[in-house]
């Protein structure tokens, strides 16, 4: 069974609409795809509606923005109740803060580059706005060749244009996800080229106490040493091991199915989750 449990649609910062993503998953020969847009569940319905025609099973999820001591961490949450008030409120707060933060970054960037806030809005569906949308505006303005180049420049965490946004504490987020009947998995925990500092092992230990199920080990932002370190940490904490493409459509080189989740981990997520998979 080919399971790619972590992808993005245009409901956050991917470029495929959810139904297009499902068709792309079928073309890539996937049996199961996880739609995990940042801080939202808004794409679930459209993706679910495309299950019968594509024959691809849908794993409903969200990639939750978290931060601990100024260090960003992404938490994948699967099969939780989308009506859960505490979680929905946290998502809304994070999206709101993403918007304010993007505006702040655009104000700073606009001093040196020819982009406006309207240009950035035009690159998104206006939901869960992130740096990739600013990157797209910079590319459209001709300032950079592609998203990658923009991320290496004014969008880098180390750049003077960078601004932070509100995000949940990752331990609290694990507890919230479990309280909503969901199953949390830490996304790319060792992706060190994204930011200089990583979340310390003690935080992952506390997350494990709070219900964390697995670490994403096989991810293109992890080099061989990162994968070894993540696998060791998962072993030490008794956590499962996952893998994914973190597909973003045309916005990134990540290809659907380039890394996969083992079937027994999916089985456990389905056992523990409040929602079923959406099957053809
Ligand atoms: P944000 O959530 O606004 O801080 O932006 C981070 C998002 O940008 C992550 O979800 C990544 O998928 C994406 N991202 C990070 N680095 C790059 C890159 N070099 N090219 C394209 N997208 C990137
Ligand atoms: Zn993203
Ligand atoms: Fe992520
Ligand atoms: Fe992601």
The number of CA neighbours under 13 Å toward the Cβ of 263 is 4
Domain ranges of the chain: 3-91+165-272, 95-152
Nearest CA to ligand 1 atom 16: 151
d(CA 27, CA 107): 41
Nearest CA to ligand 1 atom 19: 148
Highest CATH level, class, for 3-91+165-272: alpha beta
Which residue of 130, 161, 168, 251 sits with most ligand 1 atoms within 8 Å of its CB, as the best mutation to test the pocket? Answer: 130
**Six token digits for residue 278:** 């959406």
Q: What is the CATH number of domain 95-152?
A: 1.10.150.650
Query: Ligand 1: distance of its center to the CA of 15 in Å?
Result: 13
Q: Judge contact between 77 and 61, C-beta under 8 A.
A: yes
Residue 249: closest CA among 20, 5, 4? 20
Task: Work out which ligand 1 atom sits closest to the CA atom of 252.
Answer: 21
Digits of tens for pLDDT over the chain (280 positions)?
999 999 999 999 999 999 999 999 999 999 999 999 999 999 999 999 999 999 999 999 999 999 988 899 999 999 999 999 999 999 999 999 999 999 999 999 999 999 999 999 999 987 889 999 999 999 999 999 999 999 999 999 999 999 999 999 999 999 999 999 999 999 999 997 777 789 999 999 999 999 999 999 999 999 999 999 999 999 999 999 999 999 999 988 999 999 999 999 999 999 999 999 999 9
Task: Work out which ligand 1 atom sits closest to the CA atom of 131.
Answer: 3
């Amino acid at each position: 069974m080919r399971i790619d449990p972590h992808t993005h649609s245009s409901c956050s910062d991917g470029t495929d609409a959810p139904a297009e993503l499902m068709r792309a998953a079928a073309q890539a020969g996937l049996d199961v795809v996880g739609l995990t847009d940042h801080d939202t569940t808004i794409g679930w319905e459209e993706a679910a509606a495309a299950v019968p025609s594509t024959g691809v099973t849908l794993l409903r999820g969200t990639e939750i923005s978290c931060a601990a001591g100024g260090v960003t961490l992404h938490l994948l949450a699967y099969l939780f109740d989308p009506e859960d008030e505490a979680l929905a409120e946290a998502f809304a707060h994070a999206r709101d803060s993403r918007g304010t933060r993007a505006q702040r970054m655009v104000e700073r960037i606009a001093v040196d580059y020819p982009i406006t806030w309207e240009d950035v809005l035009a690159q998104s569906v206006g939901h869960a706005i992130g740096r990739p949308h600013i990157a797209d505006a910079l590319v459209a303005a001709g300032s950079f060749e592609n998203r990658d180049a923009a991320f290496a420049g004014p969008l880098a965490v180390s750049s003077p244009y960078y601004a932070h946004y509100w995000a949940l504490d990752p331990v609290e987020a694990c507890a919230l996800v479990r309280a909503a009947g969901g199953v949390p998995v830490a996304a790319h925990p060792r992706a060190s080229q994204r930011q200089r500092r990583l979340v310390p092992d003690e935080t992952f230990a506390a997350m494990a106490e709070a219900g964390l199920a697995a670490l994403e080990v096989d991810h293109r932002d992890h080099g061989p040493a990162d994968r070894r370190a993540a696998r060791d940490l998962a072993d030490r904490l008794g956590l499962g091991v996952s893998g994914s493409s973190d597909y973003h459509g045309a916005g990134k080189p990540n290809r659907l199915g380039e890394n996969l989740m083992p079937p027994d981990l999916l089985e456990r997520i389905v056992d523990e989750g409040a929602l079923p998979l959406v099957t053809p």
